[in-house]
């Protein structure tokens, strides 16, 4: 792996998160109907951070859950050893506006799987998608509602997102596959 470019540093990510927090509130006319679901594993801290922001702005606690999509993947059979993390959605999603979080939006398959999984829990009013990076190359008709940064990439590059909660620091870099 050859590191090619630093895309976002800690301050950049902070700013992006604040912006998206406001966008979510604006679009949904307040926090009342919202529940957050982070896709394991880096969608989870993103959801937590934005939930905390909104709590700060509005004084309302937002329920945030975790979702593991391993067994919903369409390539599960090819992936011999599943490594499932916790799914914890201990609230009702029926009629809610579900905000779904992931770090990178790429082919769209992860999001497809996540939507399948969410619908097993109930029928939300809507599902909206937050991603830190949209790197293009979609294979399914899926788009994000809130994007931290659009980042055109080539197929032999990969986007590496690190977050304090999972990796000890906040950064986004593009690396070339070796």
Partner 1 sequence: MLSKKSILDADSLSLEDIKLILSNVDSFLEISRRDVKKVPTLRGKTVINLFFEPSTRTKTSFEIAAKRLSADIINFSPSTSSLKKGESIIDTIKTILSMKVDLIVIRHSDSGTVKMVDRFVDIPVINAGDGKYQHPTQALLDLYTIKKRFGKFEGLKVAIVGDFLDSRVARSDMNLFEKMGMDVTIVSPTMFLPEDFSGMKVKHCIDDVIEDADIVYMLRMQFERQDRKFYPSVMEYNRFLTLNMDRLGKMKPGSIVMHPGPVNRGIEITDEVMDTSGELAEKIVIEEQVTFGVAVRMAILYLILG
The residue whose two tokens read 């975790």 is 66
Specify the residue, 78 or 156, whose C-beta has the smaller distance to partner 1: 78
Q: Does 123 bind partner 1 (CB under 8 A)?
A: no
Strand ranges for the chain from DSSP E:
2-8, 34-39, 63-67, 97-105, 126-134, 146-150, 157-162, 171-176
Backbone angles phi, psi at 121, to 5 degrees: -90, -15
Q: How far is residue 139's CA from residue 129's CA, in Å, rounded to a whole number?
A: 16
Could you say which of 2, 59, 80, 178 contacts partner 1 (CB under 8 A)? 80
Stretch that binds partner 1, among 44-52, 67-75, 101-109, 165-173 (CB under 8 A): 67-75
Could you say which of 16, 42, 72, 172 contacts partner 1 (CB under 8 A)? 72
Q: Does 89 bind partner 1 (CB under 8 A)?
A: yes
Specify the residue, 7 or 117, whose C-beta has the smaller distance to partner 1: 117
Q: Does 68 bind partner 1 (CB under 8 A)?
A: yes
Could you say which of 28, 33, 70, 158 contacts partner 1 (CB under 8 A)? 70
Q: How far is residue 87's CA from residue 73's CA, in Å, rounded to a whole number?
A: 14
């Amino acid at each position: 792996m050859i590191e090619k470019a630093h895309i976002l540093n800690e301050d950049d990510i902070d700013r992006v998160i604040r912006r998206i927090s406001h966008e979510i509130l604006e679009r949904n006319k307040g926090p009342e109907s919202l529940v957050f679901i982070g896709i394991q594993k880096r969608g989870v801290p993103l959801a937590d951070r934005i939930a905390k922001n909104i709590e700060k702005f509005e004084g309302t606690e937002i329920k945030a859950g975790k979702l593991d999509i391993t067994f919903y993947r369409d390539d599960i059979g090819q992936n011999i050893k599943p490594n499932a993390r916790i799914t914890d959605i201990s609230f009702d999603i029926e009629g809610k506006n579900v905000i779904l979080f992931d770090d990178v939006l790429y082919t769209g398959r992860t999001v497809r799987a996540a939507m399948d999984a969410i619908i097993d829990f109930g029928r939300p009013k809507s599902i909206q998608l937050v991603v830190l990076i949209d790197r293009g190359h979609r294979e399914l008709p899926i788009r994000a509602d809130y994007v931290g940064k659009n980042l055109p990439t080539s197929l032999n590059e990969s986007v590496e997102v690190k977050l304090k909660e999972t990796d000890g620091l906040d950064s986004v870099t593009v690396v070339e596959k070796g």
